[in-house]
Structure formats: structure tokens, C-alpha cells
């Protein structure tokens, strides 16, 4: 789906220097497939081994750039993102697939986190709240596609910079966060990107809702972004909405920001009632949690992701601004327009047709160009259902548009048709 959303048919990427970077921790599927001696076949390793999380994608789509998985606990997918950005900038790859996955199958894993006093007993992540008592584990499989801006057909956001560091030794223990390390990382990321702290309009925090995590991160954010700031700094935490998907959580934050940029609205945090008294910046009003859906226009956004082993990652984003005029929505001129769509099922093709019919004010020339680019490659990529829609003028939305969807079961032969009339015309012309 990431390819389709970017206007790229997967078949066109075969043999390209596209990197695959995946963040993942414990492979909980392994216990179900590889631990029962009576069922050992050897093939389970090709699915349970974390290296295969990335390598299988490269194998399936014949992507020949860097391909590896990494584990830095909760910051895994964000480190994958940082490594992908580095790979693009240093020429190791031309495009990159970045993924994060977390599936909760083993009760013992949850018990381990519970014994570390990290989990909320009431199943709610109350980020920044006075009653914050941990997080709730959740599942995620999230994937994004990175391209150089000059080559991208569709852009949701631009990554200004991404950087990582590690806490090192801490007297409190390896799982305890360090506000000094977090602060140092944010400052160096801003400095290298040439961004002033006051240019950042919103911070999407790691925000686990734990007794140690929230005060520590808030102190670092205050130290970096709130000096010389006239207005309160807006702060959010997607874990209050989705729970904590651990190694995949960083990409959940990215997804939230892309939705924010697309809809020009910051989704509200949940479960916030009273400010945590252990966070001075919150009590003083220097930082302000977003507890209502809040308009977002433009500006730089900072996103945090921290691993409980001490690996921190910080990313700076900005929305892609493109002005649309009336010509952008003028998809039909004097005659109807033929729109070609391909999909994996008949329902998927009709879903796109339904969207075009029901949302004429959202259908632009650029969108139709993306759909065309996806559909023009006839070689099979699993999208064996193809259809067409004959679009009338945008304003004529009452009448249904003619459409047809058919399944292509085999490669169609090429036919050369020579009509008698054509031959007659050619002969007449020569005479």
C-alpha cells in the first residue's frame, strides 16, 4: 500500500537500490513456531529470525539496497528511520522502506514489563496527568516509504534531520531515562539542521505515562524549547490514543504527524485531567498538552523516541505545502475523462471509484496521475483486477459514472487489426 500511496507500482522497483530498514524487538511468533521440537522443520527460522523481517521484503520485491533489522527497544523503528535517512544522504540507497512491528503474543512479556512497574493497571496511558501510572501495550505494523524530495511524486512531509545518541552509564540503572542525554540530542539535532528552538511549534513526545519517563522527558523539552518562548509549547503523545507499541511506536508518532499535516489539525491527547505536579514546566504553563483537537497551520515539528536501554532518537519534520488552485481540480475538459485503476480485489478498485465519485472536491489532476502511474504496468504485482471509469465534468455529481471492473487472469496477447477501410485509405493516398 505504501507504494500505491506514493504513486509507484512495486514492479518498477525490482532491481533498484531501495533499502529496507525495520525496527523490531523480541520475535514473539518464534515461541509458537520454533519452540515445539515435534514441529521443527527448519523453515521457521526464515520467518522468525528478525533479520528476515527486512530481508523477506527485499527478497519479495527484489530490492537491492541495504536490508537489516535493528533492536533498540522502544526506539527501534525510529532508529530504522534515522538509518534510512543517513543511507539516503550518503548514497547507500536511492529510496527506503522503513518499518516497525510489534505483536503481543506471549503473556510472559507483559508480565516482565509489569514487574518493572511500567504498565498501567487500568489499561490507560495518562501522559502528563497526575494519575499517570504507566502505559498499556499495543500492536502495530507500520511502514513508510522515503524518497528524495526531487524524485517523489507525492509528499506528505519532509524530514529535516534525524539523529541518535545513547545515555551511557546512569546511577539509577540502565532502564532509567536521562534528561541530560535527551536534551543534548535535541540541541545537537536543531543545531545541525539550522533550526531555532522557537521555530518548533509542536513536540510529539515519547510520552509513556510512566513515573520516571514523563518528568524526565518534560524537563529535557523545557530545557531545549521553552527558553525565550513567549507562548506555551504545545506537546502531544500518541500513546495516550493508541497505547505503546514498543519497537514500532516511533512510526506511530510519524503517522500521527502526517495525519496532522494532511488535515491541518492536531489530534487531542486522551486521559488528561490534572497536570502532574512532578513536572514544573507543566504546572507553570510553559508546556501545554493538546487536550482538544487543535488547528495546525505550518511550522517545524519535533518528535521523540526513546529506548529503555538508553538509545534516544530525535526527528525534525515539516509539512509539505502545495497551493492548489481551480486548475488543479479541473480534471475534465470538454469531453469525459478515462480513469484507469488496478487493485488486488474487485472491491479495492470499486472503493477508489467510489471515492472519486463521492469526493469531487478532493480529486485533483495530481491524484489521477498517481493512479495512472500505478496502473500502467501490466506485469502482475498481485493487482489482477483492473477497471475504468468515465468521469464527466466535476460539477455533474448526481448521475452515476459509467464504470467496469474485470479480472486479468493471464497476460493478454497483442492483436494487430488492419481494417479494410484503413487499407483503402492508404491505397488511395498513394495513388
- The neighbour count for residue 373, using CB atoms within 10 Å, is 17
Phi, psi (degrees; rounded to nearest 5) at 15: 80, 0
| Statement: residue 430 has pLDDT above 50 | no
Task: Write the CB contacts of 317 (distance below 8 Å, at least 6 apart in sequence).
Answer: 157, 158, 159, 160, 254, 257, 300, 301, 302, 303
Name the more confident of 141 and 34: 141
The CATH H-level (homologous superfamily) assignment of domain 2-319 is: Thiolase/Chalcone synthase (3.40.47.10)
Locate 33 and state its grid cell: 513456531
Identify the pLDDT of residue 3.
Answer: 60
Q: Which residues are catalytic?
A: 74, 206, 244
DSSP track, 136-165: -B--EEEEEEEE-TTT-SS-SEEEEEEEEE
Q: Does domain 332-407 sit in CATH 3.40.390.10?
A: no
pLDDT category of residue 428 using cuts at 50, 70 and 90: very low
How many angstroms separate the CA atoms of 19 and 95, rounded?
A: 6
Locate 49 and state its grid cell: 529470525
Name the more confident of 166 and 2: 166
Report helix angle 249-263 to 76-89, nearest 10: 70
Annotated domain spans of the chain: 2-319, 332-407
Residue found by looking up cell 492483436 in the block: 415
Say which range, 3-17, 214-228, 305-319, has the weakest mean pLDDT: 3-17
DSSP track, 179-229: HHHHHHHHHHHHHHHT--GGGEEEEE------TTHHHHHHHHHHHHHSTT-
Q: Which residues in 328-410 belong to E strands, given as ranges?
A: 337-343, 385-391, 403-407
pLDDT category of residue 372 using cuts at 50, 70 and 90: confident
Identify the pLDDT of residue 390.
Answer: 83
Amino acid at each position: 500500500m505504501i507504494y500505491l500511496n506514493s504513486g509507484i507500482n512495486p514492479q518498477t522497483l525490482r532491481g533498484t537500490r531501495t533499502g529496507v530498514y525495520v525496527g523490531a524487538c523480541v520475535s514473539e511468533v518464534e515461541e509458537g513456531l520454533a519452540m515445539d521440537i515435534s514441529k521443527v522443520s527448519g523453515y521457521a527460522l526464515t520467518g522468525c529470525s528478525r533479520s528476515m523481517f527486512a530481508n523477506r521484503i527485499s527478497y519479495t520485491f527484489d530490492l537491492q539496497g541495504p536490508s537489516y533489522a535493528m533492536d533498540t527497544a522502544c526506539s527501534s523503528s525510529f532508529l530504522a528511520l534515522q538509518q534510512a535517512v543517513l543511507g539516503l544522504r550518503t548514497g547507500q540507497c536511492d529510496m527506503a522502506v522503513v518499518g516497525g512491528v510489534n505483536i503481543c503474543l506471549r503473556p510472559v512479556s507483559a508480565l516482565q514489563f509489569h514487574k518493572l512497574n511500567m504498565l498501567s493497571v487500568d489499561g490507560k496511558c495518562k501522559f502528563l496527568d497526575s494519575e499517570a501510572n504507566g502505559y498499556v501495550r499495543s500492536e502495530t505494523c507500520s511502514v513508510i516509504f522515503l524518497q528524495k524530495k526531487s524524485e517523489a511524486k507525492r509528499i506528505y512531509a519532509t524530514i529535516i534531520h534525524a539523529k541518535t545518541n545513547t545515555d551511557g552509564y546512569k546511577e539509577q540503572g540502565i532502564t532509567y531515562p536521562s534528561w541530560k542525554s535527551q536534551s543534548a540530542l535535541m540541541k545537537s539535532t536543531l543545531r545541525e539542521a539550522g533550526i531555532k528552538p522557537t521555530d518548533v511549534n509542536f513536540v510529539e513526545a515519547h510520552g509513556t505515562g510512566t513515573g520516571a519517563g514523563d518528568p524526565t522527558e518534560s524537563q529535557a523539552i523545557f530545557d531545549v524549547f521553552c527558553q525565550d518562548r513567549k507562548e506555551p509549547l504545545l506537546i502531544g503523545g500518541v500513546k495516550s490514543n493508541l497505547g505503546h507499541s514498543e519497537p514500532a511506536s516511533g512510526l506511530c508518532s510519524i503517522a500521527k504527524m502526517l495525519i496532522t499535516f494532511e488535515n491541518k489539525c492536531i489530534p487531542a491527547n486522551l486521559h488528561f485531567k490534572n497536570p502532574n505536579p512532578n513536572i514544573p514546566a507543566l504546572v507553570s504553563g510553559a508546556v501545554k498538552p493538546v487536550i482538544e483537537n487543535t488547528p495546525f497551520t505550518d511550522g517545524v515539528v519535533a518528535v521523540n523516541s526513546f529506548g529503555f536501554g538508553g538509545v534516544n532518537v530525535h526527528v525534525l519534520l515539516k509539512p509539505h505545502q502545495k497551493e492548489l488552485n481551480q486548475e488543479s481540480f479541473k480534471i475534465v475538459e470538454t469531453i469525459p475523462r478515462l480513469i484507469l485503476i488496478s487493485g488486488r480485489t474487485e472491491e479495492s478498485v470499486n472503493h477508489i471509484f467510489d471515492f472519486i465519485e463521492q469526493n469531487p472536491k478532493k480529486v485533483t489532476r495530481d491524484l489521477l496521475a498517481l493512479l495512472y502511474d500505478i496502473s500502467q504496468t501490466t506485469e502482475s504485482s498481485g493487482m489482477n483486477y483492473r477497471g475504468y471509469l468515465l468521469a464527466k465534468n466535476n460539477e455533474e455529481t448526481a448521475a452515476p459514472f459509467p464504470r467496469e471492473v474485470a479480472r486479468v487472469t493471464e497476460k493478454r496477447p497483442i492483436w494487430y487489426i488492419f481494417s479494410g477501410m484503413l487499407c483503402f485509405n492508404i491505397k488511395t493516398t498513394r495513388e
